[in-house]
Structure 1
């Protein structure tokens, strides 16, 4: 079983990079993810927070979770039209 050695955000490539003990690497394109799942600036802000402050949790959410449901659960905003 491969073990996660490191997980960090690479600002030059805008990717969260995971490196494993067997030498393999996974690179998550954060811009592509955001283009698919983000619907407003509050959801964008939530993902940005995870990318910069908790990249391992971000990677787990994207690879193993449901980011759309997560964002609907943790973000709240009031429309100016209300």
Structure 2
């Protein structure tokens, strides 16, 4: 893979698409990622925010980082009964 040309969310197929200068492409299925790593609506909301506002950051977390650790760091979940 060469350098990144574009990174954007394709709403038609619910994927973040990365296109590279050598013609290769990666499509990240955002629904599958949410189903695997998000445990509650707050974590899903955080992933949705990244998908729409920072698709490159989202792709970086999914491909190079650990999305579960990221979600534990940025979301605060407090049950209503506490």
**TM bracket (short chain):** over 0.9
Alignment partner, residue 15 of structure 1: 15
For residues 35 and 48 of structure 1, what CA distance do their matches in structure 2 show? Answer: 12
Once the two structures are TM-superposed, the CA of residue 78 in structure 1 deviates from its matched residue by 1.0
SS of 1:63's partner is: helix
Unaligned runs of 5+ in 2: none
Once the two structures are TM-superposed, the CA of residue 81 in structure 1 deviates from its matched residue by 2.1
For residues 69 and 58 of structure 1, what CA distance do their matches in structure 2 show? Answer: 13
Q: TM-score, normalised by structure 1?
A: 0.97
Pairs aligned (count) = 82
Divergent runs of 4+, >2 A:
none
For residues 27 and 71 of structure 2, what CA distance do their matches in structure 1 show? Answer: 21
Once the two structures are TM-superposed, the CA of residue 77 in structure 1 deviates from its matched residue by 2.0
For residues 46 and 38 of structure 1, what CA distance do their matches in structure 2 show? Answer: 9
Provide the alpha-carbon RMSD of the alignment. 0.8
Q: TM-score, normalised by structure 2?
A: 0.97
